[in-house]
Amino acid sequence: MKIATYNVNGVNGRLPVLLRWLEETKPDIVCLQELKAPQEKFPEKAISDAGYKAIWHGQKSWNGVAILSREAEMEEIGRGLPGEDEDIQSRYLEVMINGIVICCLYLPNGNPAPGPKFDYKLRWFQRLTERAATLLAFNTPVILVGDFNVIPTENDVYKPERWVKDALFRPETREAYEALVSQGWTDAIRHLYPTEKIYTFWDYFRNAYARDAGLRIDHFLLSPKLDKRLIAAGVNRDVRGWEKSSDHAPVWIELLDK
């Protein structure tokens, strides 16, 4: 089973890129972030014509997450994290597919930091950590996947000294990520590639992609029932170089079937 995550940075504006990538790589399950489309503007027909069923949580202008499945049926578990009833940002979606709980997330960026946006990021992170603990207690296979907006270590960023004050790399952010992982989750990329330079995002500015001045901020966290089934993982780096592509590249893992 091949599962992928892709921050598309606007699902309608970059639909040709998304459809080309789906056709070329044919992942079984796809988590999308930053749809930048209200619920009624999600390109359901185009996705269906490409061979995928979809469940999505849209939002006007910003945010938005979706989960696609090529063959398996999906059952929605819920959308949005508990803990702040007034939080209407569409950043989280849970579905069950083939006995696995897939949690597609788009964690807040948090810049500028310090400030209200960073405070929201840390609160959201705490709510995610609490939900993750609940899911682990169910003893069911779970994947937390998406754009975490977290650079976990210095090995995950080009020239880390330039990012020390950024919300993606501040100590509070990295500590929150470490606390989440320490519940028992496995960072799939680092499990298979402990020391390699692997990036998933390259800014549009300063020729970052050509210089390979990137970040690793798109992650797969696997529950203990899944880490032994992990057989491969990688980044479709070339997609970032396509015309009118997102500033993220798709990231994928492969799991053995039961």
Distance from C-alpha of 236 to C-alpha of 250, rounded to nearest angstrom: 5
Evaluate whether 92 touches 81 at the Cβ level (below 8 Å): yes
Residues 185 and 134: their CA atoms lie apart, in Å, by 13
- The mean pLDDT value for 90-99 works out to 97
pLDDT of amino acid 221: 98
Q: What is the pLDDT of residues 5-17, one digit of tens each?
A: 999 999 999 999 9
Chain centroid, CA 250 distance in Å: 9
- CB of 184 closer than 8 Å to CB of 229: no
Q: What pLDDT is stored for residue 258 in this prediction?
A: 78
The answer to whether 87 and 128 are in contact (CB under 8 A) is no
- pLDDT tens, 198-229? 999 999 999 999 999 999 999 999 999 899 99
Say what the pTM is.
Answer: 0.98
- Percentage of the chain beyond pLDDT 70 is 100
**pLDDT at residue 215 in the model:** 98
174, 160 Cβ separation under 8 angstroms: no
Residue 61: predicted pLDDT:
86
- Say whether pLDDT at 139 is over 90: no
Q: What 3-state DSSP class applies to 248?
A: strand
